[in-house]
Amino acid sequence: MTKTLRSGPLEDVTVIDCTRALAGPFGAGLLADLGARVIKVEPPLGDGYRNIPPFLPDYAGPYEDREAGTDFGAPFASVNRNKRSVCLNLKEEGDRELFLKLCEQADVVLENVRTGVMDRLGVGYEAIAVRNPKIVYGCVRGFGDPRTGASPYAEWPSLDAAAQSFGGLVHANDGLVTPAIADIFPGTLMALGVVSAVHHAQKTGKGQFLDVSMYDAMMAFQKSAVAQFSFTGKVNPAGLQRAMTLYPFDLFPTRDGRISIAAAQPHHWDLLCAAMDRADLITDERSATNAARLKNVDWVEEQICAWTSQLTRAEVMAKFNGEIPAGPVQNMEDIFADPHVAARQMLEQCSPSGDNPEISLAASPIKFSDTPTGLYHRPPTLGEHNAEVFAEFGIQVPD
């Protein structure tokens, strides 16, 4: 059930969240789940991510009477729980002033629009820092912000597919990776950067600007590939490299799906051979060592597949008895039924509006012993909290 009070290690941090779509809202959502007071500031037509399906039965539409039901789909709900929504038109002087007054009392401002947009509106980092020198201003950009390093592509738009392509991930996997990792990982790094900068501001009294480039984040995501190229000077072939450094470290067929097996360490390989009743593979020169298995990967794969394909995923896992790094390839129905998910309380429920039944949202994977976190506020409708937030901040709104 939904909690009633905000809690967590960041409950003393106030965030003004101007992010849209996925990358920025994901990072802001991490901060909200960790207890930060997050005020989502949206333009008059709202975050366009609200309009992405699927929707609940009482969906009122993006521009309809929002009191009649939800005005968001599942993708928006997934990254905007634990936030409140304020609707402001930053192109209007009065709303800009209200926004800046919110920022005066905040610790953090977040955005992920194109380079220069917030500056042209008069609400960029420098304008806010004049009023609040302790402000931490964080953003996600496709190719970074000139404040931290000018890119020849700085003015270009970027979405997940473009950043995955630029950063080498598409080449490494011979296709796009889902879910949108070039949004999710930069958003995560932004949240980490924000927490670090807030820590610094609390010590020094001085805030700062920080950005995460989606391109840069994809390079960081592939630290191992970067190092491999530096060591060898050779470009890895396109497609998932199943046997570059360790084997077995791959997917194998079973009677009811696939299972991953990562038994590259000597003792794990010995345990796998025992589970397969193939003690001969421990001493066979083609499979006795990791180097030998890499050299003879096709043959080793055949031996493992011949065994796994006769069993179900559950039967393979039972034979491993929790001693070998392995996992069944699960879909979301499997995950919802997994006892681990229940034990770790990784699904939290809320009732979004109207007569809709409760929906389940992924909980924070960061678990604390002394400052527990949780779902305390359902995803907001557009502008739902204008009056509440301005009253809370002590800001008089002109008639």
Q: What is the 3-state secondary structure (H, E, C) of 73-123?
A: EHHHHHHCCCEEEEECCCCCHHHHHHHHHHHHCCCEEEECCCCCHHHHCCC
Catalytic member of 183, 211, 216, 250: 183
What does the pLDDT read at residue 128?
A: 98
Statement: residue 2 has pLDDT above 70:
no
- The token pair at 202 is 């609390």
Strand bridging mode 257-262 / 326-328:
antiparallel
Instruction: Please list, residue by residue across 48-79, b when 16 or more beta carbons sit within 10 angstroms of its beta carbon and e when fewer do.
Output: ebbbeeebbeebbebeeebeebbbbbebbbbb
Q: What percent of the chain has pLDDT over 70?
A: 96
CB atoms within 10 A of CB 84: 19
pLDDT above 90 coverage of the chain, percent: 84
So what's the pLDDT on residue 61?
Answer: 81
Q: Give yes or no: 183 in active site.
A: yes
**Direct distance between the N- and C-terminal alpha carbons of the chain, in angstroms, rounded to an integer:** 38
Query: Rounded to an integer, what distance in angstroms lies between the CA atom of residue 25 and that of residue 332?
Result: 23
Q: What is the pLDDT of residues 25-74, one digit of tens each?
A: 999 999 999 999 999 999 999 999 999 999 998 888 877 776 678 999 99
**Which among 38, 52, 37, 42 has a CA at the least distance from the CA of 19?**
42
Averaged confidence pLDDT in the chain: 93
Q: At residue 339, what are phi and psi to the nearest 5 degrees?
A: -60, -25
Structure tokens at 232: 């060898």
pLDDT at 138: 98
Res 3: pLDDT: 61
CA torsion through residues 214, 220, 226, 230, sign: positive
Q: What is the pLDDT of residue 243?
A: 59
Intrachain domains 14-221+342-392 and 249-337 with the same fold: no
Give the C-alpha distances (Å, rounded to integers) separating 124 from 19, 103, 118, 156: 13, 11, 5, 19
| Residue type for position 262 | A
Distance CA 246, CA 275 (A): 20
The superfamily (CATH) of domain 249-337 is: formyl-coa transferase, domain 3 (3.30.1540.10)
Token pair 């609707």 in the structure block, residue: 87
pLDDT at residue 316 is higher than 50: yes
- Check residue 295 and give its pLDDT: 94
Average pLDDT for residues 125-147, to the nearest whole number? Answer: 97
Other Cβ atoms closer than 10 A to 207:
22
Q: Break the chain into its structural domains and give their ranges.
A: 14-221+342-392, 249-337
Query: pLDDT per residue over 233-284, tens digit each?
Result: 988 888 765 657 889 999 999 999 999 999 978 999 999 999 999 999 999 9
Q: Comparing 200 with 237, which gets the higher pLDDT?
A: 200
Residue located via tokens 């207890």: 35
- Predicted confidence band at 354 (pLDDT cuts at 50, 70, 90)? low
87-103 pLDDT, tens digit per residue, is 999 999 999 999 999 99
Instruction: Give the tokens for residue 21.
Output: 């779509």
Q: The CATH number of 14-221+342-392 is which of 3.60.15.10, 3.40.50.300, 3.40.50.10540, 3.40.50.720?
A: 3.40.50.10540
**Computed over its alpha carbons, how large is the radius of gyration of the chain?**
25
- Under DSSP, the state recorded for 358 is P
Cite the DSSP H helix spans in the chain. 23-33, 74-79, 93-104, 117-120, 125-131, 160-166, 169-173, 181-204, 214-221, 223-232, 266-275, 280-283, 290-295, 297-308, 313-320, 332-337, 339-343, 386-392
> What pLDDT is recorded for position 238?
83
pTM over 0.95: no
pLDDT at 1: 45
Kindly state the average pLDDT of the residues 279-291: 96
Cβ neighbours of 355 (radius 10 Å): 9
Rounded to the nearest angstrom, the gap between the alpha carbon of residue 195 and the centroid of all alpha carbons in its chain is 16
